[in-house]
């Protein structure tokens, strides 16, 4: 499973946060790794340099082997929170989709 991290023009992805995020994603999706070919993570700050609530967005797209890609989006006050929420959403979607495939 390959992990690709992307940011918008308002963000700079520091190496330490990038490594932490890579480790977190690898651990959280390890049980799905045989089905996922690539995870694409897009981090953005919806209102640029201005302060605001729920303006940090994380979109994670999972490319699945032999299936359509799945994308989820989460907005929060920090990027860490938005990543955690997006991970939860994607795990629920993967359990539903891959579980459905095992039952039929």
pTM over the 0.85 mark: yes
Q: How many domains does the chain have?
A: 1
Q: Which domain holds residue 88?
A: 2-103
Sign of CA dihedral 46, 29, 39, 61: negative
Q: Please give the average per-residue pLDDT across 72-96, as a whole number.
A: 95
Q: CATH number for the domain including 82?
A: 3.30.160.100
- The closest alpha carbon to 59, from 35, 68, 48, 45, belongs to 45
Asked whether 18 and 5 are in contact (CB, 8 A), the reply is: yes
To the nearest 10 degrees (0 to 180), the angle between helices 79-103 and 15-28 is 20
CA atoms of 81 and 71, how far apart (whole Å):
17
pLDDT above 90: residue 71: yes
Question: For position 102, what pLDDT does the model report?
Answer: 56
Tens-place pLDDT, residues 17-36: 899 999 999 999 999 999 99
Question: For position 26, what pLDDT does the model report?
Answer: 96
**Predicted confidence band at 47 (pLDDT cuts at 50, 70, 90)?**
confident
**Predicted confidence band at 104 (pLDDT cuts at 50, 70, 90)?**
very low
User: How would DSSP label each residue in 2-35?
Assistant: EEEEEE-TT----HHHHHHHHHHHHHHTGGGTTT
């Amino acid at each position: 499973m390959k992990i690709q991290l992307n940011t918008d023009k308002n963000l700079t992805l520091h190496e330490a946060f990038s490594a932490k995020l890579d480790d977190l994603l690898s651990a959280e999706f390890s049980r799905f790794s045989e089905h996922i070919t690539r995870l694409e993570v897009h981090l953005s700050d919806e209102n640029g340099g201005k302060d605001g609530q729920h303006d940090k967005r994380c979109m994670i797209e999972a490319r699945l082997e032999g299936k359509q890609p799945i994308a989820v989006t989460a907005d929060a006050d920090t990027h860490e929170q938005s990543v955690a929420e997006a991970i939860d959403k994607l795990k629920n979607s993967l359990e539903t989709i891959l579980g459905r495939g095992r039952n039929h």
